[in-house]
Structure 1
Amino acid sequence: MTDDDFERHRPHLRAVAYRMLGSLADAEDVIQETWLRYQRTDTSGVENLGGWLTTVAGRVCLNLLRSRTTRGEVPLDESDPAVRLPDPVVSPLSGPDPEQEALLADSVGLALQVVLDTLSPAERLAFVLHDLFAVPFDDIAPLVERSPAATRQLASRGRRRVQEAAPTPDADLARQRAAVDAFYAAARDGDFDALVTVLDPDVVLRADGGTHPARPTVLLRGAKTVAGQATLARRLAEHVRPALVNGAAGAVAVIGGRVFAVMAFTVVDGRIAAIDILNDPDRLGGIEPDAFDA
Structure 2
Amino acid sequence: MRNQFKKVATLLAALTLTGAVQAADKTITLGSEGYYPPFNFFNSAGQLQGLDIDVGNALCEQLQAKCNWVATDWDGIIPALNAKKFDAIIASMSINEKRKKVVSFTDPYYFNGIRFVAAKDTQTEPVTPESMAGKIIGTQSGTGEVEILKQYFPDSDIKLYPKLDDSLLDLNSGRVDYVLASQFVLSAWLEKDEGQCCQFTGPAFIPDSVAGTGIAVRKNDTALLDDLNGALSAIIENGTYDQIRSKYFSVDITSRPENASALFNSQ
Taking structure 2 as the reference length, the TM-score comes to: 0.27
* Structure with greater helix percent: 1
Which structure's relative contact order is higher, taking Cα pairs within 8 Å and 6+ residues apart?
A: 2
* Structure with greater strand percent: 2
Taking structure 1 as the reference length, the TM-score comes to: 0.25
Larger radius of gyration, structure 1 or 2?
2
